Structure 1
Amino acid sequence: MTDIIRHIVDNKRREVEAMARHIVPATAPDRTHRSMSRALSQSPTGIIAEFKRRSPSKGDIHPMAMVSEVIPSYTRAGASACSVLTDTPYFGGALTDLAVARTLTDIPLLRKDFIVSEFQIAEAACHGADAILLIAAALSLDEITRLTDYAHSMDLEVLLELHSAEEMARFYPAVDMVGINNRNLSTFHTDPGLSLTLARMLPDNVVKIAESGLTSIDEVNRLRDVGYRGFLIGETFMRHTDPGRALSDFLNPPPHQSMNN
């Protein structure tokens, strides 16, 4: 685990432990189950459009962004799913963003956060998520196994995020999706080629997702050719005044032109 991830995860564990002592998540309401893995597999684009206001590596990205504006525009532009950051200190998000997003779209929603306990998974179910993110760099294989099984008991799918070949040792076959994050957690440098390199190491029966550093539909198409079905993109869209319009332009670029912002 890198120093920055260790720092973030240690803070998250303290935060969650404090909340769990005083708050009991409400029982998840009856809801329509939306399979994110199936939506990506059946989609011609597989775009997971991300809503985030800031990041630890880039600082403010779109600090005043409103879920009520961005999520509907992502849906209209053709997103297959949406990722909603719910971490407050490092990403400027909140669980209320996820809850509001659920009222605005019928496509699957991913709760993206540093998930370290069952408490957060129960929160995700109560606030309208269809899937959760587990980060291999922040968890042991035993934790990944336990949290995946609990998520499935709550009718949530699991996206397991890997950053290197070494983290394949923490792959749990029961997860629904595996994401390769192209951002190096030590340097924050992004290398879209990492997804191409690790593609052959992933099992054929899991939905593969490429994350971070994707700036053109040409890159997406190359990754689709080697088996990826999901493409999580946030900063490329969120740096624009109208992220939904940025997604539409990404999917339908003018001839011989790609987005490199």
Structure 2
Amino acid sequence: MRRVLCGILLRFRASSLDGAAEQAMLYAQGGASVISVLTEPARFKGSLDDMLDVALKVETLGTARRPAVLRKDFIFDTYQVLEARAYGADSLLLIVAILTLDELTTLLTVVAMSRPDSILLLALSGVFTREDALKFEECGAHGVLVGEMLMRCHNVKDMIQELKGVSSHTQGKTLVKTCGITDAETALVAAKHGANLIGIIFVPKSPRHVDLDTAADIVQVVRKFGERSSRVTIELDTFPSSSPSSMDTISTWFQSHAKKLTAASARTPLVVGVFQNQSVEYMNHVAETVGLDLIQLHGDEGFEVCRDLVVPAIRVVHLPGFHTGGSVNVEAIKENVQAGGTGAVFDWNVAASFDQAGIPCLMAGGLTPLNVARAVQVATPLGVDVSSGLEDGTPGVKNHMKVQQFIRNVVQPPLSSLDSVEEDNSCDDRK
């Protein structure tokens, strides 16, 4: 006997049909497992009578063949749950976006009173992050349905593990930041292929500098791809005091925020505005005007600046004298030696020392599609940041094929690129 792999749920708006019951019967005879009936009268012209007609009609098929009837409406009161059952519904839709946690829990509890223990409660929509899954679990759900978000994800295994709560940075999830993006088309290419962070530069002297109108276009394209209309909110804790009690305190703080950044950028890319020694007022103006999700401080600004910014900040640390190796004190490096986007090669072992000290970092410097897989294996950074390595010589003009290859080689590194890791820890393939 051939095993049925899935059930089919069909929905229709009764007001658009001459006979709701007759249409439902066609669906049922075609093998539908669930029939969803709109009962909201004001906006969708549905009615409870339509649902009752559907329920009575499909009941004639007998228990073995009868599909379940689902009430689709704005449910917010326990009376509506009892009402749905009285009019023949086997199940109903709860819209999480319009309910408080207490309201959702109450409605699920009412439903649970009449549900056999063998029937599992699943959340069928609105799951994008581990936090979403936990919210439903707290309300009594036994599982969650994840659909289109996984289809957009370029590392399905990592995303599934993260939703289950067993994924972490050490399991190989490496963030990708494509920086120096100067047009919306390139931003969309990066987003479609799995970039977590899209960097646009507001430093006037940079050849990759963009104006506010262009930046706004980039933000809108990224938001549309991520199916959102506003910036992503990341709740951050206050940075430890200027004299923290131990390195462990700093490490714990950075790791906590790294996890939040990873979770926030898992479903939709975040747009990062890059600034260098510019006023807080100007940075906040740009962030609010174009809709930045994050700010990257690329000059010699102090950490205290972050407290006055309207969005969270990434602080660049420029390392003096470490382009060819040597030890590094991860507690004391603040000096600026490079302005970025130069293609200068960074010693990957230095980034590895940060990882060993429990300080997650985004590694930049001389990365290209050809060497990034080896760099990630050597340094195991939180993420990689690339700009000139995606260009063919003209600053700001990205080669879309290189964008695709770079991201793919981070997410799914080719085995051939990992063969000589021990022999080559800082490959110079810059343009």
TM-score band by shorter chain is 0.3 to 0.5
Higher RCO (Cα < 8 Å, 6 or more apart): 1
Q: Which of structures 1 and 2 has the bigger CA Rg?
A: 2
Q: Which has the higher strand share?
A: 1
The alignment's TM-score, normalised by the length of structure 1, stands at 0.47
